Copies of this chain bind each other. A is one copy, B any other.
């Protein structure tokens, strides 16, 4: 399995959560951000690393999005994030082309605050940037005994819709989080493609060939030899072909464009990158009170029962690993990485050294 291979960072440098967060925060501050907002962004990114979501941590997107964006000016270092429209259960926030985490945490917190009063609420964010791991925001609902949901659109044309020749939309992810009592929470965090863009980037960094369905050329043929990644023009949707559900992955991707794109009043994911300057991503956040339906303690106790029974299933003779529910492996990663730190690949350490030098920040990790 390719996904398993991508979990093993070759020649890693292990760095603990706190110093890693501080270093990343210092880079963002040096790039012009306000220190408290820089720290928030660093915390969101390192949280992904702690949860084993290496694609959305500090290793790949500082160069591709965040630090490059801040230094080139297409991400505004000190944005004026504000609520532009509001009803009891809905709102729109303008991210002012800043780092997406600032507007996104504010949006999810506003959805939670509104849901306290109405039972459920949602907030859409426009004019934003790459928000990291979608699951982070959905998980913010958990400690309030709420169910969290988030989608994001943007990032340019990456996904090739079913039957189309060229890519049309971003990898447009969906996240859903529901709390349990004693068990790790149930958390979906999935791109609407067969795999995330970041997984293909990790495969390239590690020199690992990729399965059919991860990349496609202009003739509609799969690209599997990672050394030929440049021939790929995009990625197929989850499902791959029509008979195996490509219309479903395509549909989930469009759903993100509707909720986190057209709803807050922006362009489509595939068109956002054409903005000469400005927001290249939009997002959607939703919170639902569990006690709008039944006592949260009973719900969480039933979740425990379900999640334990789920994990206790007999494995298939063809099983490629344990029977696990989404969210469970993340919690195992947190335990492991609290102990050993986050494994950074060599190219990341080198990039960090270069950026520390460029931005005159101490290389403290």
Contacts and interface: CB of A to CB of B under 8 A. Distances in A.
Interface of A: 1-4, 85, 87-90, 92, 115, 117-122, 124, 147, 160-166, 168, 176, 178, 186, 188, 190, 194-195, 211, 213, 219-221, 238-245, 247-252, 254-255, 257-259, 262-265, 268, 286, 288-290, 292-294, 298-299, 302-303, 306, 309-310, 313-326
A92 B318 contact: no
A85 to B, nearest CB: 7
Given A118-B88, A164-B315, A310 B262 contact: no
Given A89-B89, A161-B323, A190-B245, 17 more contacts: A4-B242, A90-B289, A120-B286, A122-B288, A161-B313, A164-B313, A164-B315, A165-B319, A176-B258, A178-B262, A188-B255, A213-B244, A220-B316, A220-B317, A250-B325, A263-B299, A264-B294
B254 A186 contact: yes
Nearest to A258: B178
A165 B323 CA distance: 9
Given A119-B87, A119-B121, A326 B254 contact: yes
Contacts of A178: 258, 262
B220 A319 contact: yes
A206 B231 CA distance: 41
A3 B243 contact: yes
B89 A292 contact: yes
Number of identical protomers: 2
A193 to B, nearest CB: 8
A139 to B, nearest CB: 14
B242 A238 contact: no
A293 B92 contact: yes
A3 B245 CA distance: 10
A164 B323 contact: yes
Contacts of A176: 251, 255, 258
A262 B168 CA distance: 37
Contacts of A244: 194, 211, 213, 240
| A-B interface, 6 closest residue pairs, ranked by CB to CB distance from nearest | A89-B119, A90-B292, A220-B318, A90-B119, A188-B251, A220-B316
A209 to B, nearest CB: 11
Given A165-B317, A244-B194, A306-B268, A119 B88 contact: yes
A244 to B, nearest CB: 5
